[in-house]
């Protein structure tokens, strides 16, 4: 599952000290994550973290895993996250600053302003009217989803977002017809996780997809598909998404916060 690094990150960010066993283990794992291979066993994990096998087992359970093998599989999955980062940054190796700036500028210029305004207004209305709001996203879109969640929470609109994919697979089972689900998937990869996508669609809740690949599978099943310009350059997607989220939160604030204060 995506999000293993996020789990450890949340643990180590909770305290600057190592007097908590979970913090100490998480720090050791993050410092030695590249040492973990398919051959790494429970004792090896214990050696890496300067603790006992029993402590590793308890740590894996406290971080949400039923078995040590599930914990190890997620740890090995970090390589997949690294591969995504490599793909995301590969194009930068041949781009000079000016060229990179032009790539971002050109990507933003492909967004249709009139359509964007209409879709932002429509999504603002959907957010305002929804009984409950859930955001589904992972990796870099997940980081930006946290920003969107925080901005809406600040306005008094309660929004739920769980960065760990296994939690998203659980919470989607609770979706009801009067809820709003916002999927953020720049390339549509998240939509291939049928354990999340299908339950949201069959729930009859309003579902919104924010993407730069509007022709991705399942896109026709969404109530609203927000296209972030042309799908011609993967590396500009996160910048277009950040631009969209800034526009969305600003519009929502103006429509439903400032207006109510007058």
Q: What's the average pLDDT block by block, 10 residues per block, for the chain (262 residues)?
A: 74 81 92 90 95 95 91 84 60 69 89 94 95 92 92 91 86 92 93 91 93 90 94 86 95 84 59
Name beta bridge partners: 206. 180
pTM, entire model: 0.76
d(CA 66, CA 14): 23
Residue 6: its pLDDT value, please?
78
Q: Which of 197, 196, 198, 232 is nearest to 213 (CA)?
A: 232
Residue 1: its pLDDT value, please?
45
Q: Which of 148, 238, 139 is nearest to 189 (CA)?
A: 139
Contact 199, 163 (CB under 8 A): no
Residue 34: its pLDDT value, please?
85
């Amino acid at each position: 599952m995506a999000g293993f690094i996020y789990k450890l990150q949340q643990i180590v960010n909770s305290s600057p000290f190592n007097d908590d066993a979970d913090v100490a283990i998480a720090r050791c794992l993050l410092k030695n994550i590249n040492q973990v291979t398919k051959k790494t066993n429970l004792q090896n994990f214990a050696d890496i973290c300067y603790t006992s096998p029993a402590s590793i087992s308890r740590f894996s359970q406290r971080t949400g895993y039923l078995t040590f093998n599930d914990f190890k599989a997620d740890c090995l999955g970090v390589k997949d996250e690294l591969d995504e980062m490599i793909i995301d940054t590969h194009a930068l190796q041949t781009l000079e600053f000016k060229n990179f700036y032009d790539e971002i500028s050109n990507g933003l210029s492909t967004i249709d302003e009139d359509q964007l305004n209409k879709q932002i207004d429509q999504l603002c209305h959907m957010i305002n009217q929804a009984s409950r709001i859930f955001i589904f996203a992972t990796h870099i879109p997940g980081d930006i989803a946290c920003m969107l969640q925080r901005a809406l929470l600040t306005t008094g609109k309660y929004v739920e977002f769980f960065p760990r994919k296994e939690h998203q697979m659980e919470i989607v089972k609770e979706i009801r017809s009067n809820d709003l689900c916002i999927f953020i998937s720049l390339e549509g990869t998240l939509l291939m996780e049928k354990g999340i996508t299908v339950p949201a669609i069959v729930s009859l809740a309003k579902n919104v997809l924010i993407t730069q690949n509007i022709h991705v599978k399942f896109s026709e099943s969404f109530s609203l598909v927000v296209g972030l310009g042309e799908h011609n350059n993967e590396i500009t997607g996160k910048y277009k998404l950040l631009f969209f989220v800034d526009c969305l939160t600003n519009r929502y604030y103006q429509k439903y916060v400032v207006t109510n204060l007058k």
